[in-house]
């Protein structure tokens, strides 16, 4: 893909504007997605942070839950940050009864694993061998376990918790790279989209 890939940000809740800015600075044509026709028009999608149960309910209310699942299953590249990581998980711990995800990554994610809002923090970590970057964790999940096809791209230090993963065209972080002004994670995702 030589032209700028068209990357949507699921605009139901969360840091939509911040993700749009980070995508544009990474060479993507960024747009919002709230309807199926907008989803159909993008090459890839970001599922931002927010509250995972609310995102699931809003996706269902906007008739996007099944179209999102079908596009992901068909190989559309997607990146989920924080609540978006939960949404891309095949299995979750600590979820509410009946909580729905989009799935796609063979992992178990623990919801709110690092604690409540008051427990939010920042830390430096190595992401995908690209050097230290500042990671912002807000009511963040972590990955309890991954399947054989999942690459671990980042861990906390200390604690050694898995906080960034990739499986094929899917990327997920438990932190919010859109909040730091460092677009390396978004650039990595845009590179993934170009390669596919």
Q: Which residues are catalytic?
A: 82, 176, 178
- The C-alpha atoms of residue 100 and residue 59 are separated, in whole angstroms, by 10
CB 49 within 8 A of CB 9: no
**Residue 51's closest CA among 135, 112, 137, 121?**
112
**Residue 79's closest CA among 124, 136, 23, 21?**
23
Q: Which two tokens stand for residue 152?
A: 């671990």
What letter would DSSP give residue 140? -
- The C-alpha atoms of residue 23 and residue 45 are separated, in whole angstroms, by 11
Residue 168 vs residues 15, 129, 152, 186, 193: alpha-carbon distances, Å: 25, 17, 12, 16, 11
Q: Which two tokens stand for residue 52?
A: 């995972």
């Amino acid at each position: 893909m030589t032209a700028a890939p068209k990357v949507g940000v699921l605009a139901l809740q969360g840091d939509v504007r911040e993700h749009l800015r980070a995508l544009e600075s990474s060479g993507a044509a960024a747009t919002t997605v709230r309807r199926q026709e907008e989803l159909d028009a993008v090459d890839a999608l970001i599922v931002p942070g927010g509250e995972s149960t609310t995102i699931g309910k809003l996706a269902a209310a906007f008739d996007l839950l099944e179209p999102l699942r079908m596009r992901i299953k068909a190989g559309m590249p997607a990146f989920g940050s924080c609540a978006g990581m939960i949404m891309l998980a095949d299995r979750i711990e600590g979820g509410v009864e009946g909580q729905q995800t989009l799935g796609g990554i063979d992992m178990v994610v623990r919801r709110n694993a690092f604690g409540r809002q008051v427990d939010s923090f920042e830390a430096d970590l190595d992401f995908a061998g690209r050097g230290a970057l500042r990671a912002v964790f807000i009511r963040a999940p972590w990955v309890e376990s991954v399947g054989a096809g999942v690459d671990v791209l980042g861990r906390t230090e200390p604690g050694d918790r898995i906080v960034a993963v990739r499986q094929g065209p899917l990327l997920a972080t438990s932190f919010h790279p859109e909040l730091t002004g460092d677009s390396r994670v978004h650039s990595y995702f845009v590179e993934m989209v170009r390669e596919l």
